[in-house]
């Protein structure tokens, strides 16, 4: 499987140094209001925090690669409970399954589609519940991992999985639970769900008491084992596929130190280090897409 690689993207520029938990004005105002509410009505504030935590935001429009959806070779709908999950694919051949992150969507992997299809692969993307064009307003990592498993089962043997951010935790959980694949590639994976909760609290500027309350609520909902279920300290040693972790030094959403921890705890994995791309340019920039393309085509 060989094909000339072409991509049309902007050149990355170095991002300025900034705190990892940068807050815009709207987010800061929400956090301030929740802090005030917590002092007078802590249970109500906790309910709002819990709802926010499980409510992803839809991708802003227009989306860079949205036109590809109209050119999909196949479009199917996966029934997940009472919700419909859209599944798109391009090409024919060994399956490359893409797993987006929180508040993301499958089409974010659009830069990979044409090169991999030309190389003889079938590229499959989907929108998890409450994401992209899928139904629902709330979801969680258990649901996301379950959908990864169901999509993989619906498209046949999976050659490789490429996952971004929190989607990496869902993909790893699904692989440990039984998905068989030769390659597992993670872009900016967080170390664990506990770190995700801490980052959520930092972004809103919540007090430690409010963050601790959210942790307690999650344990009541999912059980105390939830932290082990979604921790690379636990998952990585059981990941059999050939692994690659892509880490950008200037990532303002998932600290590079967390992704580096994933790499260090994953036996036999390799690391691709970048800088100046941040958290989202990893999804389309040639300095990431091209090495992954070569990795997959050389192994085919």
Would you state the pLDDT for residue 67?
Answer: 93
* Domain membership of residue 215 as a residue range: 22-53+197-223
Same domain for 47 and 104, yes or no, is: no
pLDDT tens profile 74-100: 999 999 999 999 999 999 999 999 999
Q: What angle (nearest 5°) sits at the alpha carbon of residue 159, between those of residues 118 and 254?
A: 95
Same domain for 158 and 205, yes or no, is: no
DSSP output for 206-236: --HHHHHHHHHHHHHHH-TTHHHHTBHHHHG
Would you state the pLDDT for residue 25?
Answer: 82
Label residue 120 by pLDDT band (50, 70, 90).
very high
pLDDT tens profile 183-207: 999 999 999 999 999 999 999 999 9
Element (H, E) at 83: strand 83-90
Q: How many residues does the chain have?
A: 300
- Portion of the chain with pLDDT greater than 70, in percent: 91
Compute the Cα dihedral for 176, 212, 255, 99 and give only its sign. Answer: positive
Would you state the pLDDT for residue 300?
Answer: 61
Same domain for 170 and 92, yes or no, is: yes
Same domain for 75 and 46, yes or no, is: no
Residue 11 has pLDDT above 80, yes or no: no
Label residue 2 by pLDDT band (50, 70, 90).
very low
Q: In terms of Cα–Cα distance, which of 132, 193, 119, 123 is closest to 160? A: 123
Residue 240 has pLDDT above 80, yes or no: yes
Phi-psi region of 268 (alpha: psi -120 to 50; beta: other; left: phi over 0): left
Residue with tokens 């790499």: 263
Would you state the pLDDT for residue 4?
Answer: 47
CATH number at residue 150: 3.40.50.1820
- Number of structural domains found in the chain: 2
- Three-state DSSP class for 137? coil
Same domain for 288 and 159, yes or no, is: yes
Same domain for 91 and 188, yes or no, is: yes
């Amino acid at each position: 499987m060989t094909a000339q690689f072409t991509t049309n993207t902007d050149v990355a520029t170095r991002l300025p140094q900034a705190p990892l938990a940068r807050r815009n004005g709207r987010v800061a105002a929400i956090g301030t209001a929740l802090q005030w509410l917590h002092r007078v009505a802590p249970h109500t504030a906790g309910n709002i925090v819990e709802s926010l935590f499980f409510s992803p935001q839809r991708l802003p429009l227009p989306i860079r690669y949205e036109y590809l959806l109209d050119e999909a070779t196949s479009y199917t709908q996966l029934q997940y409970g009472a919700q419909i999950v859209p599944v798109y694919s391009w090409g024919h051949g060994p399956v490359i399954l893409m797993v987006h992150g929180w508040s993301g969507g499958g089409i974010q992997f659009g830069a990979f589609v044409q090169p991999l299809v030309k190389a003889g692969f079938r590229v499959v993307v989907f929108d998890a519940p409450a994401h992209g064009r899928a139904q629902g307003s709330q979801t969680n990592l258990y649901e996301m991992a379950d959908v990864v498993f169901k999509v993989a089962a619906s498209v046949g043997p999976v050659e490789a999985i490429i996952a971004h951010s929190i989607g990496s935790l869902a993909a790893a959980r699904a692989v440990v639970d039984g998905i068989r694949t030769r390659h597992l590639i993670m872009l900016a994976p967080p170390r664990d769900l506990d770190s995700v909760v801490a980052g959520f609290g930092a972004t809103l500027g919540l007090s430690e008491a409010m963050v601790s309350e959210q942790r307690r609520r999650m344990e009541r909902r999912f059980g105390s084992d939830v932290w082990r279920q979604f921790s690379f300290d636990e998952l990585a040693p059981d990941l059999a596929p050939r692994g690659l972790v892509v880490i950008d030094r200037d990532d303002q959403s998932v600290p590079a130190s967390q992704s580096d921890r994933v790499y260090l705890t994953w036996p036999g994995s390799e690391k691709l280090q970048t800088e100046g791309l941040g958290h989202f340019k990893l999804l389309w920039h040639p300095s990431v897409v091209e090495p992954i393309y070569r990795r997959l085509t050389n192994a085919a």
